[in-house]
Amino acid sequence: MPAANPFWDFSLDTYARPGVAAACLALQDQHGVDVNVLLYACFAAGRGVTLAKADLDAMDAVIEEWRCEVVKPLRMLRRRLPEATPLRDLVQQAELSAEQEQQGRMWELRKPAGDWPESGFSGELLAENLAALAAFYGLPVAAVAEFETLARP
C-alpha cells in the first residue's frame, strides 16, 4: 500500500466537485496541461506554498518520462476502447493507478519533513500558482480562469 499522500486525497476530492473534471480535461485536451500538475498548483495554494517556474521545471523533469511512457499510453488506450466494457474498466483502473504513482513522485519532490499544514485557502495564492502554471504551458492566464473559479473551495 502506498504511503499516505495528502495530495492524492485532495485531488480526488477536488476532481469530484461539479465542473472540475470537465475543466481539467478541457485544459488537458486543448492545451496539453497535465491535470496532476494543475491540481498540484491548487493543493500547494491551500497550504501556503507558491510555485515558481523553477518548481514546475523540476516537477516536470521528475514526471515527464512516467507521464509519456505510462500515463499517456494508458489514457490513449482507454479512450480507444468502447464504453462499458470490462477491458476498458481495467485499463481505466491502471490509468488511475499510474496517475496516483505520478502524484506520489510529485509529492516526494516537494514534500516537507512533516506534512504541510493546511494554512487556509488563499484565492490570491491560487491565482498566482495558476498564473505560473499558465506561463509554464505558454498559455494566457485567461485559459485557466474557469478552472480557477471551480477550484475555489
pLDDT of residue 60: 94
Q: What does pTM read for this prediction?
A: 0.91
pLDDT of residue 5: 85
| Interval 34-77: pLDDT, tens | 999 999 999 999 888 889 999 999 999 999 999 999 999 999 99
pLDDT band for 123, please (50, 70, 90 cuts): confident
For the cut 90, the answer to whether the pLDDT of residue 108 exceeds it is: no
| 3-state secondary structure string across the chain | CCCCCHHHHHHHHHHCCCCHHHHHHHHHHHHCCCHHHHHHHHHHHCCCCCCCHHHHHHHHHHHHHHHHHHHHHHHHHHHHCCCCCHHHHHHHHHHHHHHHHHHHHHHHHHCCCCCCCCCCCCHHHHHHHHHHHHHHCCCCHHHHHHHHHHHCC
Angle at 100 between CA 66 and CA 140, to 5 degrees: 70
Average pLDDT over residues 137-148: 94
Say how far apart CA 74 and CA 101 lie, in whole Å.
13
Rounded Cα–Cα distance for residues 63 and 96 (Å):
15
